[in-house]
Structure 1
Amino acid sequence: MVLKKNITPVLFGILLMFSFVSVAQTTKIEGRVVEQSNNQPLAYATVMLADKDTNKPISGTTTTEEGTFVLETETNNYYIKVSFIGFVTKDIRDFQVKNNSINLGTITLAEDAAQLDEVVVQAEVSRTQFKLDKRVFNVGKDISSTGMSALDVLNNVPSVNVNIEGAISLRGSSGVQVLINGKPSILTEDGGALGSITADMIESIEVITNPSAKYDAEGTSGIINIIIKKEERKGLNGSVSLNTGEPDNHSVGISLNRRSEKFNLFTQLGLGRRSYLRDSENINRNLETVTTLFNTGTDYRNEKFYNITLGTDYYLTPNDVFTLSGNFAYEVEDQPSNYNFQLFDEADALVSEWNRSEATDATNPKWQYELVYKKDFTDHEDHDLLLSATGNSFSKDQNSLFDDVTVSGEDRDAQQRTRTDFAEDNFTFKLDYMKPFSEQWSIETGAQYVMTDVSNDYEVEDWINGEFVTDTGLTNIFNYDQKVLGAYFSAAYEGEKWGLKGGLRLEQTDLKTLLETTNDANDQNYTNLFPSVHTSYKFSEAVSLQAGYSKRVYRPRMWDLNPFFNIRNSFSIRQGNPELQPEFTDSYEVTTILDIGKTSLNFGVYHRFTTDMIERITFLSEDNVSTTRPENIGTNSTVGIEFNTKYTPINWLTFNVDFNYNSFDREGTFESEVFDFKGDQWTSKLMAKFKLPANIDFEATGNYESEYKTLQGENDDIAFLDLGLRKKILNGKGVFSLGVRDAFASRYFKSFTAQGNSTNYTESTRGRFVTLGFSYGFGKGEAMEYSGGRRR
């Protein structure tokens, strides 16, 4: 195979890189960090070596789930600093070196009730930090997400929901921008593509419901920023994992990392195969002709994948770091489907029945590359300069054959063939600068330029008189070219009790789309200002208050604008709208944080007002074909409340609760039809974690999403349960894990739409997913519970 020939020299290159890293005489430092109040281990506490003369960091690590740590150094003029958010930092200057080894034993940290800059809700493994303009969900090893994707992890983050189709919403709104390491990515353009990021790869997830001027104005309901781990333990570290699951889900992953004083070299390899299936049912009723069309079926996505990531950090000086990394992934897809159609007349008599089958194959190469320079100035730890250039590309070569076979009644025999050549390139250039003038005052400024270039060559052919003939009405090339230039400035004051941050962002957008065959062009050029204000006040040790305002924009994506569609189900069609305009949102929120003993409660009230609201409208033709496309329709005003908490009644049981409720008022008109209506919706999540004997952990997460009105109908409620079990062996180096998503196969998506003289009912489900895995960490690596997905 060509692939094997290509991988062999890559592996040789990896080993060659590692061989260049020099190994000097080192001192080994180890110990264990626990809470002073209950002697429980502190997972993910920071252990840092600092220079005695300058107090600058030399190196560091974090503790394991058992509170233990090991690090090495080649220097000798240092002291040891142990810290964890919410606890008093401890400096250790008195220690003995024996045989190039330091054993610090058990280190106790006391809780710090006087910390004023943030409040931490400390979960058993995962935890949430509340900062001035965002919340940071630090991802632990939540068992139900083991072997699952970033979409599953997101579904466990407070305020975030992911529906059965992979669509992400924040506080019930789908206008959310998803970033990876603070930058746009190919993987975030399509929710399903986030399945290539696995749970073990994620360090933290930032939920920014009111982004400051530093961030892109894109995303009307806010920003979700996925921070990917980058291993930095010194020496050679690695991890290997094997996973299997049902439906068909098998993978192997290897991670290697080598760190010295000057270099950090890292690589990940993964390969595997997986299958997704979806059962669906559609009922189209034409009330004018009194006919009904039923169609039921199953479509599959069978995928083989191969990937490699290579990168290095080079420390030019302790304060100047260059990072160069690249990722290549290759997917081979097979997408069969089969649908049965039945047409009934006004007397419910069967008029005709036919089957429509599909055979689709596709190949998807993906590239991403990044160069980053970071400068840490010596006068203050937060005085930073960051320059980055990122490029990514994705292409798809897909061919499909559709075959309609008559079962009874009217002759429906037909064949269609489609071809898709898709290519997308994204380039992002970014500069960020932060300058503190004192412990209270600081500024941030920077600029960003994003270029997106997409071409979608789509052809449909019909079998006519013994040959395939191009359907010119459905065949075209759609080009999409968007450039966004942004610049921002913000200033912040953070005192002992009160903080204030204000900023302004300017963005200029240049968008061009073109349908080549018809020569239909749509050019948009607009410039907007996006202000933001955030403030916080600490009334007492137990009560803090945060408030914020920001203006946001949602720019239609390529698939929102492209008028052509997949004809898998030729009676249920989704297409884009080239004339679609951006929508703008003013967002306000006030959040109260109550710190009651070891329990922290987060209660918030928010309001969003959106103009040029984008809604999907469904039309049903006389021949029972339902077509859905986006349109700009009026305004939407949303008022909501949100509640999050974590409670540990006993040391082996922890509960995490997340609740969100909002009501909305829609006003709008489309083609002389009034779409004014009011409604509400709510979601809740309850996670229970149990520490069992024999080093076994068990976790159950229940989810509920209420029914809610839509522009033309309503969506049903959804309830589902995720389960997980984990067993550690070999002092935590090895981990067996079992995960069950949607344990009762109850995660159905159901919607009802009424438009004019027609109605449409849709129901779909993906069913239960079960995964079983084993992972093992070697060197100083940990078992990473890696399912073989692409690492970014």
Structure 2
Amino acid sequence: MNIRPILFILLFSLLSAGTVKAQQRYEISGRVLEKQSKQPIEFATVLIGDKESQKAITGITTTQDGTFSIEIDRGNFYIEISFIGFETVKVEEIDSSKSRIDLGDILLEENVQNLDEVTVVTEKSQTQFKLDKRIFNVGKDLSSSGASALEVLNNVPSVNVNIEGQISLRGSQGVQILINGKPSVLANDGGNALGTITADIIDRIEVITNPSAKYDAEGTSGIINIVLKKEERRGLNGSVTLNTGVPNNHSLGLSLNKRTEKFNLFSQLGIGRRTFPEDTETINRDLVNNTFLSAFGEEEKNETFYNLILGVDYLINDSNIITLSGNYAFEEESESSENNYSFSENDVLSQQWTRRESTEATNPKWQYELQYKRDFKRHEDQDLLFSALGSFFGKDQSSLFQDMTTFGIREDFMQQTRTDFKEARYTFKLDYTHPFAEKYTIETGAQYVLNDVSNDYEVSDFINGGFVANPDFTNIFDFNQNVLGVYTTAAYEADKWGIKAGLRLENTDLKTLLRTTNARNNQNYTNLFPSIHTSYKLTEDLSVQAGYSRRIYRPRLWDLNPFFTIRDNFNISTGNPNLDPEFTDSYEITTIYKLRNASLNFGVYHRYTTDVIEDVITFLDNVSTRMPLNIGTNNTTGVEFNAKYTPVNWATITTDFNYNYFKREGDFQNTSFDFEGDRWSSRMTAKFKLPAQIDLEVSGNYRSRFITFQSEVNDNIFANLGVRKKIFKGKAILNLSVRDVFASRVFLNETSQPNFFLRSRGQRGRFVTFGISYGFGKGEAMEFSGQKRF
């Protein structure tokens, strides 16, 4: 027990009263259980408060078996027991004649909000279902120990992250990533920005497969919102985490929070270094001229990162709060690779050479935000929120490439590249929520996003003892896009039934300029994005939800930039400045059913997309070039199933299954792009509470093979393992995580066409991380720890 607050209270009483009164000491104990299943609730909050002032005196959290014991040296108090997702229990009638007060079993009942939310699980790492989103709380997921934001996302139902860090939702990559509900430089796909977000600073992941009109219309397959932590406990709280692992996986994280009557200061600091080895293989086969090009090699990427978050909340009064926060991140990258090439003609080896790469890069990123929120006394849900956010991301990169012939007459040569990338983004957002007549709510607001990007890229060839710029591969590409959106939604919420409808209007002004050729592409378009969601509660345990929304996918910088890097001269990806945006109509119906020891979620969805952006590969002189094109329409119909089952209080099993069938129709330049196929994925996780406060988690993941217009992506299977041990009464926690336990996560892509065949294979292997976390002040040890992403 921390006796300093008690000593302070006693001393204050002596000085103010001038007399000494004998104080009776009380020892209060009990056990907190879930009412329906009678299972113990760990980390429930037990608060002791003063009856007269109604202010907190002290508090504690329950242990693994739901028990607690706390002492207090004053009378006239009340006891309040609470846990997220449950009704709060307040005990005011207390027999103060006894020094030992045993409250026995305290039963907490789930707080089920009839329309907006159905709580599926009862632990901190629960998944919650709301009218238009699912919330995945990042708390007790042991396989996230030592993980990055991308690895945490890979544990979220319906979400998949491939080896290049591309994020897909229900099999589609048209996903918008938000940080704290807003666009962010940390979520930009122009670089490794998500790498600086580590698991220890993530509070929850919100998956919005069918967003309402309140949300930005960007993202044809939906929105993923990463919500970062911000502590609000009184006093000084903090925790520190230290990780080490193989291969070369080391990091240190520090979290500090200071809460006073008017201010809440919060900060996060993370530094780390990690190595990502990868085995690669590529094959290019010309079936017309009977030539064969293969490359086998190894790559290694080393990253050192620093991440600092600082912020302050200023509570002007009970109704008004201002938040000012900033985030600075800095990465240092070094990358080396060696690939051995072989070239054959008519099955006769004619050339062999080795290509080596050496790359150095620095990536500064910063973000700052001013936010104002006003709550109205008229209604607890009436509020006004304004935020202004600015961010910057830069990349200063240089690479050296050397080709050295080992067989044949191919000449040796060297090239170097220089990249100067800068992106500035400014977001202004205003939201107002107004409930009235008890069952009705209106929301309205506006958002203006300005995005200004410049990419300066230069390739130089080594000629006559010096490097000379190659104008064919050197360019400056400017990208400027401003999006203004306004929206209104109206909702009706009754005891069993409710409906929410909305309309969003967005104007997009896009300008691109390729300075080398002075080629310009200007687009300005205005679109309406309606949405409607409804929910009906059939019984206390069964709810049905349905929704519709219209979405847009705007081509990104790398989709539009017509130039490419020379990292692999034989497999090139290039942009298309003439791309138009995709538009998707999204429909879904979901049922949520709660049983005694299980919860089930089953959904059916359909997406209809026009002006589909599809990568098309052309092949010439053993060089494959991949370029995005707008081609036709796509219909996708799928089913999704999620379940959680707790057969006993020490074991929990969760599963996620998604299947969809798609049909593509379209043609381009007299070529038919019609094709159809299906894909499915599944994830299963088992969690066990073992003796000696040891937790074990095992998860398995599978993604089926699927086809694109020209290619086939092979299936993928891997398993993760996590173990956690609490020590020092939970103030310190030991974590061990193994990701890709059997080193089975192989990414294989094959393209088989009448005139050519392509194969690309990559494998990263097993990652093992050991970490320790310690909480101090009123802080608690992290049940996971942060690390840099791959």
Secondary structure at the residue paired with 2:709? Answer: coil
Checking the alignment, whether the CA contact within 8 Å between 1:478 and 1:513 is kept in structure 2 is yes
Q: For residues 708 and 30 of structure 1, do their structure 2 counterparts lie closer, same or farther at Cα, with a shift above 3 Å needed?
A: farther
The CA deviation at 1:529 is: 0.3
Distance 1:532 1:38, change over 3 A: closer
Q: Which amino acid aligns with 2:707?
A: K
Q: Distance in 1 between matches of 2:361 and 2:85?
A: 51
Matches within 5 A, 1:319-334: 319-334=319-334
Partner of residue 556, structure 1:
555
Structure 1 residue 738: Cα displacement = 0.6
Other structure's SS at 1:703 match? strand
- Note if contact 2:237-2:258 (Cα within 8 Å) is conserved in structure 1: yes
Q: 1:64 to 1:487 in 2, by over 3 A?
A: farther
Q: Which residue of 2 aligns with 1:593?
A: 592
Return closer, same or farther for 1:29/1:678 CA change in 2, 3 Å cut-off. farther
Between the aligned partners of 2:249 and 2:236, the Cα distance in structure 1 is: 30
Alpha-carbon contact 2:597-2:647 (below 8 Å) kept: no
Partner of 2:5: none
- Work out the CA distance in 1 between the residues paired with 2:70 and 2:260: 12
Matched with 1:667 is 665
In structure 1, the partner of 2:252 is 252
What is the one-letter code of the residue matched to 2:632? G
Q: Which residue of 1 aligns with 2:656?
A: 658
Three-state SS of the structure 2 residue aligned to 1:335 is strand
- Using the TM superposition, give the Cα deviation of residue 439 of structure 1 relative to its aligned residue in structure 2, in angstroms: 2.9
* 1:782 equivalent in alignment to 2:788: no
The Cα shift of 1:168 comes to 1.1
Matches within 5 A, 1:179-258: 179-190=178-189, 192-258=192-258
In the alignment, what sits opposite 2:141?
Answer: 142
What residue number does 2:405 align with? 406
| Secondary structure of 1:473 counterpart | helix
1:748 aligns with one of 746, 749, 758? 746
8 A contact 2:147–2:786 mirrored in 1: no
1:785–1:633 distance in 2 versus 1, CA, 3 Å = same
In structure 1, what is the equivalent of residue 647 of structure 2? Answer: 649
1:505-524 to structure 2, matched below 5 A, reads 505-524=504-523
CA shift at 1:455, angstroms? 0.6
Query: How far off its partner does 1:461 sit?
Result: 0.3
**2:605 is the alignment partner of 1:606:** yes
Residue number in structure 2 paired with 1:443: 442
Displacement, 1:93? Answer: 3.3
TM-score by length of 1: 0.91
Q: Is the 8 A contact 2:112 2:119 kept in 1?
A: no
Q: Residues of 2 paired with 1:534 and 1:691: CA distance?
A: 39
Q: 1:319 Cα shift?
A: 2.1
CA distance in 1, matches of 2:438, 2:52: 21
Contact kept in structure 1, 2:148 and 2:788, CA below 8 Å: no
Task: Write the distance in 1 (CA, Å) between the matches of 2:552 and 2:348.
Answer: 50
Q: Once the two structures are superposed, what CA deviation does each residue of 1:157-199 show, in whole Å capped at 9, x if it has no partner?
A: 1111112221111111111111110011112222853232122
2:353 match: 354
Inter-CA distance 439–516: structure 2 relative to 1 (3 Å threshold): same
TM-score (norm 2): 0.91
Task: Find the counterpart in structure 1 of residue 692 from structure 2.
Answer: 694
Q: Distance in 1 between matches of 2:234 and 2:84?
A: 24
Equivalence map 1:365-764=2 (5 Å): 365-622=364-621, 624-755=622-753, 757-764=755-762
CA deviation after TM superposition for structure 1 residue 382, in Å: 0.8
SS in 1 for 2:555: coil
CA distance in 2 between counterparts of 1:772 and 1:102 reads 42
Deviations 1:494-527 (A, max 9, x none): 1111010000000000011111111011111100
How is 1:289-300 mapped onto 2 (pairs within 5 angstroms)? 289-300=289-300
User: Quick one: which amino acid aligns to residue 654 of structure 1?
Assistant: T
Residue 418 of structure 2 contacts residue 458 of structure 2 at CA under 8 Å; is this kept in 1?
A: yes
1:264 paired with 2:267, answer no
Contact 2:33/2:108 (CA < 8 Å) preserved in 1?
no
Structure 2: which amino acid aligns with 1:646?
K
Q: 1:693 to 1:358 in 2, by over 3 A?
A: same
Paired position in structure 2 for 1:313: 313
Residue 549 (structure 1) shift: 0.0
What is the DSSP-based 3-state SS (H/G/I as helix, E as strand, rest coil) of the residue aligned with 1:553?
strand
Aligned twin of 1:280:
280
The separation in 2 between residues aligned to 1:577 and 1:71, in whole angstroms, is 66
Q: Deviations over 1:714-770 (max 9, x none)?
A: 111111001111111001111111101111111111111134511211111111111
Q: Distance in 1 between matches of 2:100 and 2:523?
A: 64
Equivalences for residues 46-125 of structure 1 within 5 A: 82-84=81-83, 87-94=86-93, 108-112=106-110, 116-117=114-115, 118-122=117-121, 124-125=123-124
Deviation at 1:209, TM superposition (A): 0.8
Instruction: Describe the shift of the 1:378–1:238 C-alpha distance in structure 2 as closer, same or farther (beyond 3 A).
Output: same
Cα distance in 1 for residues equivalent to 2:266 and 2:28 = 24
- CA–CA distance in 1 between the matches of 2:677 and 2:183? 33
**CA distance 1:461–1:787, change in 2 (3 Å):** farther
C-alpha distance in 1, partners of 2:167/2:498? 31
What amino acid is the match of 1:326? G
Q: Give the superposition deviation at 1:277.
A: 2.2
Letter in 2 for 1:583: E
**1:224 to 1:97, Cα distance in 2 relative to 1, 3 A:** farther
Q: Distance in 2 between matches of 1:97 and 1:511?
A: 71
Distance 1:30 1:374 in 2: 39
- For structure 1, the residue ranges without an aligned partner over 5 or more in a row are 1-23
CA drift at 1:150: 1.4
**Aligned CA distance change for structure 1 residues 650 and 49 (closer, same or farther; 3 Å):** closer
Q: Counterparts of 1:640 and 1:160 in 2: how far apart (Å)?
A: 15
Give the Å deviation of 1:453: 0.7
Q: Deviations over 1:534-574 (max 9, x none)?
A: 00001112321000000000011111111222211111111
Matching residue's letter, 1:147? G
Aligned residue identity for 2:195: G
Letter in 2 for 1:486: G
Give the aligned partner of residue 21 of structure 1: none
- Residues 360 and 401, structure 1, Cα contact 8 Å, conserved in 2: yes
Distance 1:80 1:183 in 2: 39
Question: How far apart in 2 are the matches of 1:321 and 1:29?
Answer: 38
Secondary structure of 1:317's partner? coil
Which residue identity lines up with residue 530 of structure 1 in the other structure?
A: F
Conserved 8 A contact 1:251-1:272: yes
- Tell me, in whole angstroms, the C-alpha distance in 1 between the residues paired with 2:69 and 2:383: 29
What CA deviation, in whole Å up to 9, does each residue of 1:680-731 have, x standing for no partner?
0000001011111111111111000001111102111111001111111001
1:719 aligned counterpart, secondary structure: strand
Amino acid at match of 2:691: P
Q: Distance in 2 between matches of 1:206 and 1:413?
A: 52
Cα distance in 1, alignment partners of residues 316 and 526 from structure 2? 39
Could you tell me how far apart the structure 2 residues matched to 1:508 and 1:69 are?
A: 56
Residues 479 and 621 of structure 1: CA distance in aligned 2, closer, same or farther (over 3 Å): same
Mapped partners of 2:27, 2:301: distance in 1: 49
Number of aligned residue pairs: give it: 765
- Report the CA distance shift for 1:294/1:388 in structure 2 as closer, same or farther (over 3 A): same
Instruction: In structure 2, give the amino acid aligned to 1:449.
Output: Y
Q: Once the 2 structures are TM-superposed, how far is the Cα of residue 43 of structure 1 from its aligned partner?
A: 3.9
Question: What is the identity, as a one-letter code, of the residue corresponding to 2:296?
Answer: T
Q: What is the alpha-carbon distance in structure 2 between the residues aligned to residue 58 and residue 482 of structure 1?
A: 53
Alignment match, 2:18 = none
Q: CA deviation at 1:652?
A: 1.7
Which SS does the other structure have where 2:751 is aligned? Answer: strand
- For residues 68 and 448 of structure 1, the distance between their equivalents in structure 2, rounded to whole angstroms, comes to 48
CA gap 1:113/1:246 in 2 versus in 1, 3 angstroms: closer
Tell me the distance in 1 between the aligned counterparts of 2:420 and 2:70: 50
Residues 192 and 147 from structure 1, CA distance in 2 versus in 1: closer, same or farther, beyond 3 angstroms?
A: same
